[in-house]
Structure 1
Amino acid sequence: MNADTPRLSWPEVSLRRMDRGSLVSPSGQEGPAGIVSTLCGAHAQILSAAELSVALRIEGATRAEVRAALWDRRELVKMYGPRGTVHLLTTADLPLWIGAFSSIPQSPSPFPKDVQMTEDQTEQVVAAIGKSLLSAELTVDELTDAVVAATGPWAGDLVMEAFQGKWPRWRQAMTLAAHRGVLCFAPNRGRKVTYTNPLRYLSDVTPLDGPTAQRRLVQRYLHAYGPATPQNFAQWLNAPRGWASGLFRAMEGDIEQVDFEGNPAWVNAGDTAIPAEPHRGVRLLPYFDAYVVAAQPRGLLYPGQASVRALTPSGQAGNYPVLLVDGTVAGVWHQRRSGKRIQVTVEPLAPLSGAHLAELDEQVERVGAVLEGKPELTVGTVTVGAHA
């Protein structure tokens, strides 16, 4: 860095990120697909949290609008995304995501040698998944039967350690199948999760070539969450750090270095603008909201006691819904539903001003509107632990 290097402070950066993520004010133009595309996906391990995360960013929207975009209009797709976790992505962006996922170096298998599949077996399983789901919505047990029938008994061996038993061998390829564009989630059948092939809804999902997809993904990520380092990008994707560093070096000219609170970080070339007015306000973000999961560094986003109260012991973000004050984590919250009644408990880490308490009331009302219920606010201790 030198004297000419642009300098950005944490308040400026948090404002940029919140403004671009429609958190300063909800968007009056974008629908669910536009919001999800800008966020580079919405974490959907808890689908209700994803619905809240997206709808909060859209003026007047409720969870029903997000559900319609996902299950009716097919503008969104629920599938394994960044870090292999369940996300909402846009169907329009699938060529980008599949091209990037298919070309990013894979991390070593976490499974013992006797559990792993050979490269040939993996390809057989992925092909069987794609073919089996092309005209059906199957539960995991039904998909097991289809994969074993297409490949052989070895695919059904119960060798993978699971929560309450063991899973069949083939299931270690589910994320890869999603990243190849042949597996996504379908609507639940009662309480059972089902899967299908996104090609059932799309005429074509031709992936972008790997280098192009990787570069565009960096640019999308930096637009939403920059300034950021290659290590931040690698952590967000769960990709090798060395690969990410090489990719950033190869993009010289397309991205540029800035001074972010005294440390080097990167933005898209020429993208150093800051919204004119500083953000002052309160926001309630649900589990695994993109702002708190993707934005770095955690030390600035989760200052002081927030790092103890709102992060897991390993430093993982998103496991608690958070209270933001002026773009920084300042507490946690929880909601419990009973019929139409929604009990919202908010635990600030420091006393809130009268203005902030008034804004908190507004945020709770907005949460209730999105969830189509009647909210009741309690300011007190949240006793519910972190989500796994």
Structure 2
Amino acid sequence: MTTRARATVTVSWPEANTRRLARQHLAAPAPSASASASPAEAVGAMLGAHAQVLSAAELSVGLRGDGLTRTDVRAALWAEGTGESGRTTLVKTFGPRGTVHLLPVADLSLWTGALSAVPTGPNLFSKDARMTPDQVEAVVAAVGDALQGVELTVDELSDEVVARTGPWAGDLVMPAFQTMWPRWRQVLHLAGHRGALAYAPNRGRKATYTNPGCTPMPGPAALAALVERYLYAYGPATPAHFARWLAAPKRWAAEQFASSAASGAIEEVEFADEGSAWVVAGDTDFPDEPARGVRLLPYFDAFTIASHPRERLFPGTAYERALGGGQAGNYPVLLVDGTVAGVWHQRRSGRRIAVTVEPLKPLPAPRLRDLEEQVERVAAIMEGTAELTVGTVTVGPHA
């Protein structure tokens, strides 16, 4: 019988939170030009920018660099205006939790290797709508083949997949947005995780897809690397935190941590109210000073999604006001000294951006000035002119 060594390092919540903010390029004051992150570096630091709403991803990335704008993010994603045709540093595809993310092109092999090795949950589709394992493999292969060297809308891709696999793939059996989708679309995100599909520039208002030409890294090596990157960005963390971030089984996540611990890649610490948690081996330096300053983070910003314990990041009334059933990201949030202290909303009309911020407690004059500066920074990133109102946010989540 082996006895696990007792953790010798104790990490407080303020220490962990302050280091996470710094590693996310969110520490106050704003990053200097010498320390500023490029779009790809910013996305790499946060482990992917949630991009279901692309404007939110643009703001997430822009906040982490000095002078970055949404145009810079679009240039990194689509090579627009760079003068380097076809050269991109970001890719839009299916990332953690099967949701649309921006990821660094340089890390795509690691991401696809890791995500394709994460166990899938129970099949929630009806028996008549499900696909057999062989059908899943056939569809993923057909998607990859159909998208080689071209950009197709989902309808064009559907025609190609059905032609390569059979009429069964086109059966309208998936309920979706008051209509029915063809059977094959239930594995669209899996094709992204396998490296067979990524987004291409929109064709008018229609999304298009292409094959990014990525060869996934072997699963075990990719997962080990992802554990270390997660702990570097968001540690100390537990296997349960990692599982929640990936939407993966807790037991499986515990096995990944145990494997990394056995190899000496990660080490155990005592963390706040969580008890045992993990960091990258040797990565036990934490700042002495607590976080300071004001930040406005958009929907589903990676910092609010991946940071735990959530009760510490969303203290008191923030847990009820800024979360949806315990789920982070439903509201853009106001951070004051590193914790959620309110919600906000923006409404754009041309270049005018009307920003309403609802602090959960009155802000003193110095914090109001900081807030005004943050609103101006949001406007600069989004290439508009901001008007600030401090008051109640009346719209609901995802508005």
Q: Distance in 1 between matches of 2:235 and 2:9?
A: 13
Q: Which amino acid aligns with 1:257?
A: E
**Are positions 1:116 and 2:127 aligned together?**
no
Partner SS state of residue 319, structure 2:
helix
Q: Which amino acid aligns with 1:281?
A: G
1:354 corresponds to which residue? 365
Contact 2:49–2:301 (8 Å) recurs in 1: yes
**C-alpha displacement at 1:95, in angstroms?**
1.1
Contact 1:186–1:196 (8 Å) recurs in 2: yes
| Deviations 1:237-267 (CA, angstroms, capped at 9, x unpaired) | 1111111101111111211111111421111
Q: Distance in 2 between matches of 1:231 and 1:150?
A: 40
Q: Distance in 2 between matches of 1:258 and 1:181?
A: 35
**C-alpha displacement at 1:315, in angstroms?**
1.1
Q: Distance in 1 between matches of 2:188 and 2:92?
A: 13
Partner SS state of residue 376, structure 1:
strand
Partner SS state of residue 182, structure 1:
coil
2:101 corresponds to which residue? 87
**Are positions 1:250 and 2:253 aligned together?**
no
2:293 corresponds to which residue? 281
**Are positions 1:267 and 2:279 aligned together?**
yes
Q: TM-score, normalised by structure 2?
A: 0.93
**Are positions 1:146 and 2:160 aligned together?**
yes
Q: Which amino acid aligns with 1:244?
A: A
Q: Which amino acid aligns with 2:379?
A: G
Structure 2 counterparts to residues 154-233 of structure 1, below 5 A: 154-199=168-213, 205-233=214-242
Q: Distance in 2 between matches of 1:240 and 1:274?
A: 30
Q: Which amino acid aligns with 2:286?
A: I
**Are positions 1:26 and 2:31 aligned together?**
yes
Contact 1:130–1:183 (8 Å) recurs in 2: yes
Q: Count residues with an aligned counterpart.
A: 382
Structure 2 counterparts to residues 283-322 of structure 1, below 5 A: 283-312=295-324, 314-322=325-333
Q: Distance in 2 between matches of 1:70 and 1:27?
A: 23
Contact 1:98–1:180 (8 Å) recurs in 2: yes
**Are positions 1:339 and 2:350 aligned together?**
yes
**Are positions 1:52 and 2:77 aligned together?**
no
Q: Distance in 2 between matches of 1:142 and 1:209?
A: 31
| Deviations 1:86-142 (CA, angstroms, capped at 9, x unpaired) | 000011101111111222222222212211111111111111111111122111111
Do the aligned partners of residues 185 and 3 (structure 1) sit closer, same or farther apart at CA in structure 2, a change above 3 Å counting? closer
Q: Distance in 2 between matches of 1:329 and 1:284?
A: 10
Q: Which amino acid aligns with 2:300?
A: F
Contact 1:26–1:56 (8 Å) recurs in 2: no
**C-alpha displacement at 1:11, in angstroms?**
1.1
Partner SS state of residue 198, structure 1:
coil
| Deviations 1:21-66 (CA, angstroms, capped at 9, x unpaired) | 0001336342000111111111001100000000111001111101
Q: Which amino acid aligns with 1:41?
A: G
| Deviations 1:61-97 (CA, angstroms, capped at 9, x unpaired) | 1111010000003210000000000000011101111
Contact 2:169–2:182 (8 Å) recurs in 1: yes
Q: Distance in 2 between matches of 1:112 and 1:139?
A: 27
Q: Which amino acid aligns with 2:233?
A: A
Q: Which amino acid aligns with 1:55?
A: G
| Deviations 1:217-238 (CA, angstroms, capped at 9, x unpaired) | 0000001111110011011011
Contact 2:129–2:183 (8 Å) recurs in 1: yes
**C-alpha displacement at 1:7, in angstroms?**
1.2
1:68 corresponds to which residue? 75
Q: Distance in 2 between matches of 1:209 and 1:154?
A: 31
Contact 1:279–1:327 (8 Å) recurs in 2: yes
Partner SS state of residue 330, structure 1:
strand
Contact 1:343–1:376 (8 Å) recurs in 2: yes
Which 4+ residue blocks in structure 1 deviate beyond 4 angstroms?
Answer: 1-4
Q: Which amino acid aligns with 1:293?
A: I
Q: Which amino acid aligns with 2:207?
A: V
| Percent of aligned pairs with the same amino acid | 64
2:92 corresponds to which residue? 78
Q: Distance in 1 between matches of 2:220 and 2:143?
A: 26
Q: Distance in 2 between matches of 1:310 and 1:327?
A: 15
1:202 corresponds to which residue? none
Q: Distance in 2 between matches of 1:260 and 1:364?
A: 34
Contact 2:142–2:164 (8 Å) recurs in 1: yes
Partner SS state of residue 383, structure 1:
coil
Partner SS state of residue 295, structure 2:
strand
Contact 1:27–1:57 (8 Å) recurs in 2: no
Do the aligned partners of residues 3 and 129 (structure 1) sit closer, same or farther apart at CA in structure 2, a change above 3 Å counting? closer
| Deviations 1:180-235 (CA, angstroms, capped at 9, x unpaired) | 10101111111111111112xxxxx3322211111100000001111110011011
Q: Distance in 2 between matches of 1:326 and 1:212?
A: 37
Q: RMSD in angstroms over aligned alpha carbons?
A: 1.4
Of 312, 315, 334, 1:323 maps to 334
Structure 1 window deviating more from structure 2 (257-266 vs 85-94): it is 257-266
Partner SS state of residue 121, structure 2:
coil
Partner SS state of residue 103, structure 1:
coil
Q: Which amino acid aligns with 1:70?
A: L
Q: What 5-or-longer segments of structure 2 have no aligned partner?
A: 80-86
Q: Which amino acid aligns with 1:121?
A: Q
